[in-house]
Chains A and B, each alone.
Chain A
């Protein structure tokens, strides 16, 4: 247990070391957020709120939360796994008397959380209270609709982080299998950005796609928690939303572990 905790702490600390990256990310996220907001404002100007699945204010808050949590998305394999696969140092991962899944998972989770949380706090502070203070309240990140919504969202964000780390594990296994991080990273970015609601909030897709979008694993990372935060109705209610997350976590873990076992069994690291 201690090994997994150490891996988490050390990986998290590496994430915190890159302060310039945090600052650069913050600027980029603010920029993208502002542009997205302007686009919504012009679209909503022609289509009244009454018919939209999200009000303009909700769409703005949704956007700010997505931008804040951009780094929580599984946009690639764990960098150290990618490096290890390329250089062959991955043999050492097989040489540790630890449960390799739990070992990589704790690092992957720390990688996501360590990068996402500092950015999220800073960006939420700027897009929320600071924007309101500057008189930009109409464009700002709104607080959760209720205390219950806040608590549900927090639990759901926690599950979302775990789902994301588990999807990163799938990229890690794929990387170990192909001995290169390129393939995993190539599919990870578009899938994450599209299916998590980062590009366009999932509630804004056509009605016929709604059930499918809600039932795919990437919805559980940020979309479901944000819906709970906004108090947007979810078919089946908040309970169902959390159950969807837990089921995906279990399914991804179960099949991911089996896939990893098969991969480790046939892993042939070439060369000296």
Chain B
């Protein structure tokens, strides 16, 4: 019932904007929305989602219960075939949202549709169509080998033998599982286990893949392998991916769209490049000198942020001081050896963003 309702970008209803619009209204808006883009179908639609936990305090049975609002009315949608990154500091409500979308948790109020199903109401039908990886938990069975675990999942999801053989072969190759198929899961390294976990989540060709911190604790090559796999998956199979992570490089490598969540609300929902541009437009210039650097007379908009031996780090706003002006000025300084200009690390962008919205 929610199929074919315009493209994803037009549906980026921000959390702090009018929630009054019911699902139907969001749908109309989407159809009327920006033209010229391909019309996808909406895989995930969330409208004014709230979740209040009742936490007992004091330990004993006389303890009072306190209400904690984990989600305070969030709305967003993800188009079919889109990769959306879901980020926010610890305790922001990401996991709660992920659990509701997975059908594990019942929200206090709000509308959620994944495909045409309400996750917590049509639990069994819903979970048959999604794949989920929780990076901090294992879905394979410790006492079984990877192959046995995949066989059990085949029976759970009722994957027919031919499709199972095909998918298993494909995933074994793409995730390099050949050498570990007959090892029991308890013997796997974290990187090996995570690759097996991802295979386990995809055996039944889910339409939506939910990855909750899939690269946590992985080494660099494993992270790259996971990212490459997810990119290929989206490209080749059109799988919709919802990703949460604390590793901003995951977001940079994968997500076209970033939904930043904080205090149970959506702080921003925009393409990653926009987030970068609006939050932190600063550039960083590093200058090395052959001898002890002289005192620099910098123009307005540029400040010296660090001095270490023979190198100086300068932070500048390119809107006030164009890079070429600064470079020209520094080139005139005697003893200059080398110059490098870069953008701040993505962690800094996000840290700055959280700080700006920490109210």
A19 on the interface (CB 8 Å rule)? no
Partner of A80, one of B141, B155, B212: B141
Q: Which residues of B contact A271 (CB under 8 A)?
A: 95, 136
Measured between beta carbons, the chain B residues less than 8 angstroms from A98 are 124, 156
Q: Known contacts A95-B127, A98-B124; is A269 also within 8 Å of B156 by CB?
A: no
What is the size, in residues, of chain B's interface with A at 8 Å between Cβ atoms? 35
- When chains A and B are docked, how far (Å) is the Cα of A271 from the Cα of B104? 13
Answer whether residue A201 sits at the interface, using C-beta atoms and an 8 A cutoff.
Answer: no
**Residues A233-272 near B (CB distance < 8 A):** 265-269, 271-272
Q: Given A6-B152, A95-B132, A268 and B137 touching (CB < 8 A)? A: no
Contact B152 A272 (CB under 8 A): no
Chain A residue at smallest Cβ distance from B120: A265
Mark out the residues of chain B between 106 and 126 whose CB falls within 8 Å of any chain A CB in the assembled complex: 106, 123-125
B127 to chain A, nearest CB (A): 5
Q: Pick the contact of B158 from A2, A10, A88 — CB < 8 Å?
A: A2
* Contact indicator B137/A10 (Cβ below 8 Å): no
Contact between B138 and A91, CB atoms less than 8 A apart: no
Q: State the majority secondary structure of interface residues on A.
A: helix
Q: Measured between alpha carbons, how far is A83 from B141 in the docked complex, in Å?
A: 11
| Binary flags per residue of A73-86, CB closer than 8 Å to B gives 1, else 0 | 00000001001000
B143: chain A residues within 8 A (beta carbon): 14, 17, 80
Is A48 part of the binding interface, using a Cβ–Cβ cutoff of 8 Å?
no
What's the least CB distance linking A270 to chain B, in Å?
9
Whether a CB of chain B sits under 8 angstroms from the CB of A54 is no
Residues of chain A in range 2-43 having any CB-CB distance to chain B below 8 Å:
2-3, 5-7, 10, 14, 17
How far is A14 from B184 in the complex, measured between Cα atoms in Å?
Answer: 12
Whether the pair A91, B156 counts as a contact (CB closer than 8 A) is no
Those of A84-100 within 8 Å (CB) of chain B: 87-89, 91-92, 94-99
In the complex formed, the residue of B with least CB distance to A17 is B143
Q: A92 touches which one: B95, B137, B151 (CB < 8 A)?
A: B137
Asked if A91 and B124 sit within 8 Å, CB to CB, the answer is no
With A6-B152, A272-B134, A272-B136 in contact, do A94 and B103 touch (Cβ < 8 Å)? yes
Least Cβ distance of A103 to chain B in Å? 8
Report the Cα distance A239→B343, complex, angstroms. 83
Q: Which residues of B contact A3 (CB under 8 A)?
A: 152, 155-156, 158
For B104, give its contact among A5, A10, A267 (CB under 8 Å): A267
Whether A89 lies near B138 (C-beta < 8 A) is yes
A91/B104 in contact, CB under 8 A: yes
Give the number of chain A interface residues (Cβ < 8 Å). 28
Task: List residues of chain B with CB within 8 A of the CB of A267.
Answer: 104-105
- Give, as a whole number of angstroms, the nearest-CB distance from B245 to chain A: 11
Shortest C-beta distance, B118 to chain A (Å), equals 14
The answer to whether B152 touches A7, judged by C-beta atoms less than 8 angstroms apart, is yes
Of B142, B151, B156, the residue contacting A83 (CB under 8 A) is B142
CA distance A205 to B44 in the complex (A): 62
Which residues of chain B from 52 to 108 have a CB within 8 Å of any chain A CB?
53, 90, 95, 99, 102-106
Q: Does B188 contact A (CB under 8 A)?
A: no
On chain A, the residues within 8 Å of B141 by CB distance are 10, 80
Closest to B216 in A: A272
Which residue of chain B lies nearest to A99 when distances are taken between CB atoms in the complex? B124
Cα distance, A2 to B164, chains bound together (Å): 15
> CA–CA, A41 to B123, complex, Å?
59
Tell me whether A272 and B213 are in contact in the complex, defined as CB-CB below 8 angstroms, given that A88-B137, A91-B134, A92-B137 are known contacts: yes
Give min CB distance, B281 to chain A, whole Å.
Answer: 32
Contacts of A99 in B (CB 8 A): 124
Nearest residue (CB) in B for A84 is: B137
**What is the CA–CA distance of A268 and B99 in the complex, to the nearest angstrom?**
9
Mark A residues whose CB is within 8 Å of B: 2-3, 5-7, 10, 14, 17, 80, 83, 87-89, 91-92, 94-99, 265-269, 271-272
Known: A10-B148, A95-B132, A269-B104. 6 other contacts (CB 8 A): A3-B155, A17-B143, A88-B134, A89-B139, A94-B103, A95-B103
Q: Provide 6 A-B residue pairs closer than 8 Å at the C-beta atoms, listed in order of the A residue.
A: A5-B155, A80-B141, A80-B142, A80-B143, A94-B123, A97-B128
Nearest 4 pairs of A and B residues by beta carbon:
A97-B128, A92-B139, A6-B155, A3-B155
